Amino acid sequence: ATPTSIMVGTGRAAQLGVLFRKGDALQRLGESKVIAFDKTGTLTRGTPVLSSHALFGGAAYDDVLQLVASAEDRSEHPIARALVAANSRPILKAEVEAVAGHGLKATVDGRTVLIGNVRLMKDAGIEVDAAQPALDEAASRGETPVLVAIDGALAAALSVADQLKSDAKATIAALQQAGLRVALITGDSKATAKAIASDLGIDDIRAEVLPGDKADAVRQLRDEFGPVTFVGDGINDAPALAEADVGMAMGTGTDIAIEAGDVILSSGDTKSVVNALTVSRHTMRNIR
């Protein structure tokens, strides 16, 4: 590539809200075979709300929410924000231990509270069969189920709903049309990921990927299909952004993700990914 064509390309991209940190990212993007997306905050808005709940063992909704919000109060996870927002009672003092990729354990008001996914409950020996209908229904709507156990017994199945970004579906279609393989990498459950992916027309789904394993998922995609561009926004996404041939960070994301990105999409919308690809391919074409 000539320095001039790269300069023109990065300049044009910048006008579209796509900031290329390095000129070679502009070139590598044009050579990508796969575009892999994080889900929460990247394809979805990342500001979920508590949308439904089922209670078990005689638990009272307001009590459950108060314990949950107290435990989640200091977490920055989008699920935590949704649960805290749904509570209207005072926050109680809590001792909290995060369980990466699964949820958290806390002691609140002398009670042991477990909040998270099925894995978290099973690992703690908590019986979750009663929650199966609620779990299935949440997942079929593309929502994230959050189970709550209090003092060793299942107390509630909450469902947290995030909205797809309005341009996500068109973005996926445009990328596929451009000949790219589109993949979804998420820590969320397989069932939830499947519902979201099917809404968006994505058929390569890598779900229940632990925070430490997202970079591995990128490596696997590269081994299978060739150079990978990864788009993400979270703290969890930083290693995958660094591992990818091109890491694209949502400008609306966490500082850690932004620092790890080769490309920053300033607006946080997904069609910037298509704009970036278009500019990249034009630039590459001009230099041949």
Residues serving a catalytic function are 38
Task: Name the minimum Å distance from CB 65 to ligand ADP.
Answer: 13
Q: Which of 30, 46, 48, 103 binds ligand ADP (CB under 6 A)?
A: 103
- 144 lies in the binding site for ligand ADP (CB under 6 A): yes
Distance between CA 194 and CA 12 in Å, rounded? Answer: 36
Q: Amino acid identity of 221?
A: L
Of 9 and 101, nearer to ligand ADP (C-beta) is 101
- 187 lies in the binding site for ligand ADP (CB under 6 A): yes
- 41 lies in the binding site for Mg ion (CB under 5 A): yes
DSSP string, 20-40: ESSHHHHHHHHT-SEEEEEST
Tokens of 170: 């068109």
Tokens of 244: 């990818």
- According to DSSP, residue 21 is labeled S
Of 37 and 56, nearer to Mg ion (C-beta) is 37
Of 29 and 160, nearer to ligand ADP (C-beta) is 160
Say if residues 100 and 208 touch (Cβ distance below 8 Å). no
- 186 lies in the binding site for ligand ADP (CB under 6 A): yes
Query: Residues, the chain, total?
Result: 288
Of 26 and 160, nearer to ligand ADP (C-beta) is 160
Exposure of 243 in the CB half-sphere (CA atoms within 13 A): 20
Cβ neighbors of 198 (< 8 A, separation 6 or more) are: none
Q: Which residue ranges make up the site for ligand ADP (CB under 6 A)?
A: 39-40, 72, 75, 77, 79-80, 101-104, 115-117, 144, 146, 186-188, 211, 234, 236
Q: Which residue ranges make up the site for Mg ion (CB under 5 A)?
A: 38, 40-41, 233-234
